[in-house]
Chain A
Amino acid sequence: MARVIVDVMPKPEILDPQGKAVTGALRRLGFSGLTVRQGKRFEVEVDGEITDERLAEVREAAEKLLANTVIEAFDVRVEA
């Protein structure tokens, strides 16, 4: 079974309150100069071999459900 990774991140121009909260907590813990943006990682187990068609399907799934492209960008890659 092959695994495809879908990373979903808030678009750069969209405020990321969760990332801001994490950034603030890191600063309070003494970690300086670390700015965090928080997204989501989906690990998709794909039955059978990964073909271009299969990858296109995962991309379609990401576009349709996993990400909301109004506020988020996504990246699809095969796990090495």
Chain B
Amino acid sequence: MTRVGVVTFPGSLDDADAARAVRIAGLEAVPLWHASDSLNDVDAVILPGGFSYGDYLRCGAIARFSPVMTSVIEAANKGMPVLGICNGFQVLCESHLLPGALIRNDRRTFVCRDQKLRVETIDTVWTNAFTPGQEIVIVLKNGEGSYMADDDTLAMLEDEQRVVFRYLDVNPNGSRNDIAGITNAKGNVVGLMPHPEHNVEPLLGPSLDGLPFLASVQSFLARV
């Protein structure tokens, strides 16, 4: 069975929900601990949402240097699928696995809403089960979700089709180019601010659009 590791940092909030989503999708969830450099033979890793290390210094800045991240960075560079959700996206940017950075929302408030997104590319490990241009709804909840990168980086992301998700209808935080999520050059590392792990059961949200993330990684790993 596909083993998906879910990292717990001190201050992670959505690690249990992410593990639950993995199980609901029919995969095995493997807990990973920030202070251990062991990835426990997992096939993929999810960095969950929350406030790792209290968001001290900058969101994700301390987590990036934790023992587990040394192993995650090494594995990601060798092609292991890694998904960063919200705080996990911030950790991926601080780790330089993804370019750019996330700063405080332009409206200065915490935003919590069912957010419409467009899937801009299905050519990643985590989005191949969607259809190109598919419109989905995923829960968004963050205070520091405004995606920033310089003009050259933005042009590169657009040219290489590495913008994976774009906000539709409303740009909730001032992200440049309405960017909600991006990928690395290989397509194995994806980071996004919205929370797909909260959209896996009819009881809890308006969509089940979180499930294709896990179906994507499963079908990718089945082909490897």
Contact = CB atoms under 8 A, between A and B. Distances in A.
Interface of A: 10, 14-15, 17-18, 20-21, 65-66, 68, 70-71
Nearest to B93: A70
B115 to A, nearest CB: 19
A70 B149 contact: yes
Contact of B101 (A20, A21, A65, A68): A68
Contact of B148 (A14, A20, A21, A65): A14
Interface of B: 57-58, 61, 65, 93-94, 99-101, 103-108, 146, 148-150, 174
Nearest to B102: A71
Q: What does DSSP make chain B's interface, helix, strand, loop or mixed?
A: loop
Nearest to A42: B57
Contacts of A17: 103-108
Given A17-B103, A70-B100, A70-B149, 8 more contacts: A14-B103, A14-B148, A15-B103, A20-B108, A65-B61, A65-B65, A71-B101, A71-B103
Contacts of B106: 15, 17
Contacts of A65: 57, 61, 65
Contacts of B107: 17
A14 B144 CA distance: 14
A14 B147 CA distance: 11
B57 A66 contact: yes
A68 B58 contact: yes
A14 B106 CA distance: 11
B138 to A, nearest CB: 24
Nearest to B153: A70
Contacts of B104: 17-18
Contacts of A68: 58, 61, 94, 101
Contact of A15 (B100, B146, B149): B146
A68 B99 CA distance: 12
A68 B61 CA distance: 8
Nearest to B94: A68
Given A15-B103, A68-B94, A71-B103, A21 B61 contact: no
Contacts of A18: 104, 108
Contacts of B146: 15
B142 to A, nearest CB: 13
A33 B106 CA distance: 22
A10 B207 CA distance: 37
Contacts of A21: 108
B101 A70 contact: yes
A70 B148 contact: yes
B98 to A, nearest CB: 11
